[in-house]
């Protein structure tokens, strides 16, 4: 069973955790280093004993540190969401705006959690001034008791892991985080995609992509990078431009996702895993095996 983290973000890898886990290097590593941790769902499920989880988005890191330091607990979350949920039910959009304005002034981590769940489509987007600007999801009834319990439990499970293991959360640019890795470390790399979901924290340009390729060519650590390869409409230009040229291993696999609010529309995406080590052989009995096509491996 996949453990779900307490926040949602664009590009979250919940559905890809099994495929990523099946492609981790054989043998031990000292530290798991993740320069683009986002929701942290991959580390949360792999549960390395030591980890540095970093992201440029200071709000994610602040929330995760607060959970680790126990200033935010499942009980605190439950009480806060119950109270805020009641206010949302009474005042709808007006209350959502109060919380959003407050968050954009104070950066409060509980408000961040609330906005992440009450906003439109559960996305995370910040304007050029770094302010959260996603509109209200128009579900004033959202925080029903079962939903509050579900989020409090997600916080609880996350807290169990981050207090038991030796994990550190950093606000940092990826260049700084990758530079910390030594030959004994493992890097899991999940960068933003150029031209998609771009906002204050996820803006990504050609120079960033070039710097990432260069940092990964130089790193003494083993790394695994996940990115999209193609769908029925287009291919990721960066694969040919940057990743295929470098002396890395690539493995492709298909992944299905739902498009829009109905269950009926299914999209198919081919994902790429890129590494600087030989991928482990997969047994045919592994469910991931059947999604894979080999390419340049
Ligand atoms: C594709 S998401 C990672 C998703 C994550 N693997 C998950 O499953 O939730 C990319 C993340 O990179 C972060 N990011 C964008 N630019 C960055 C940079 N220059 N340095 C560090 N983090 C950055 C974004 O804030 C975002 O959380």
**pLDDT value at residue 297:** 42
**pLDDT value at residue 153:** 98
Task: Dig out the tokens for 204 from the structure.
Answer: 């990504």
Mutational pocket test of ligand 1: of 14, 36, 213, the residue with most ligand atoms within 8 Å of the beta carbon? 36
Cα 25 to chain centroid distance, Å, stands at 21
pTM above 0.85, yes or no: yes
User: Is-contact 239 251, C-beta < 8 A?
Assistant: no
Cα 292 to chain centroid distance, Å, stands at 22
Protein residues whose CB sits closer than 6 Å to any atom of ligand 1: 9, 11-13, 35-36, 38-39, 41-42, 55-57, 173-174, 190, 192, 201-202
CA 176 to ligand 1 centroid distance, Å: 14
CA 70 to ligand 1 centroid distance, Å: 24
What is the end-to-end Cα distance of the chain in Å, rounded? 29
Residue limits of CATH 1.10.1020.10 in the chain = 74-159
CATH 3.40.50.1820, applies to 14-56+172-294: no
74-159 maps to which CATH number? 1.10.1020.10
Spell out, as residue ranges, where the chain has pLDDT lower than 70.
Answer: 195-197, 257-266, 290-297
Query: Residue 203: which of 107, 125, 141, 267 has the closest Cα?
Result: 125
Residue limits of CATH 3.40.50.150 in the chain = 14-56+172-294
The residue whose CA has the least distance to atom 3 of ligand 1 is 38
Mutational pocket test of ligand 1: of 116, 192, 215, the residue with most ligand atoms within 8 Å of the beta carbon? 192
User: 146: alpha, beta or left, given left = phi > 0 and alpha = psi -120 to 50?
Assistant: alpha
């Amino acid at each position: 069973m996949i453990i779900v983290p307490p926040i949602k973000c664009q590009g979250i890898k919940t559905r890809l955790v099994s495929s990523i886990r099946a492609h981790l290097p054989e043998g031990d590593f000292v530290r798991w280093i993740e320069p683009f941790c986002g929701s942290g769902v991959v580390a949360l499920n792999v549960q390395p004993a030591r980890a540095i989880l970093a992201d440029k988005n200071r709000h994610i890191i602040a929330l995760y540190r607060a959970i680790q330091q126990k200033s935010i607990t499942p009980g605190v979350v439950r009480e806060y969401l119950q109270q805020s949920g009641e206010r949302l039910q009474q005042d709808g959009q007006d209350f959502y705006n109060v919380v959003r304005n407050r968050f954009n002034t104070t950066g409060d981590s509980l408000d961040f959690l609330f906005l992440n769940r009450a906003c439109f489509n559960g996305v995370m987007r910040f304007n050029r001034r770094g302010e959260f600007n996603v509109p209200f999801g128009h579900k004033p009834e959202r925080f029903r008791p079962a939903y509050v319990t579900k989020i409090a439990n997600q916080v609880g499970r996350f807290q169990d892991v981050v207090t038991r293991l030796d994990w550190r959360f950093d606000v940092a640019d990826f260049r700084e985080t990758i530079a910390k890795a030594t030959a004994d470390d493992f890097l899991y790399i999940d960068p933003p995609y150029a031209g998609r979901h771009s906002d204050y924290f996820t803006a990504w340009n050609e120079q960033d992509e070039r710097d990432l390729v260069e940092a990964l060519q130089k790193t003494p650590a083993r790394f695994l990078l996940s990115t999209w390869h193609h769908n029925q409409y287009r291919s990721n230009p960066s694969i040919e431009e940057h990743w295929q040229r470098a002396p890395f291993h690539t493995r492709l696999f298909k992944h299905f996702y739902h498009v829009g609010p109905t269950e009926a529309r299914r999209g198919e995406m081919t994902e790429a895993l890129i590494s600087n080590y030989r991928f482990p052989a997969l047994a045919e009995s592994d469910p991931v095996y059947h999604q894979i096509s080999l390419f340049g491996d």
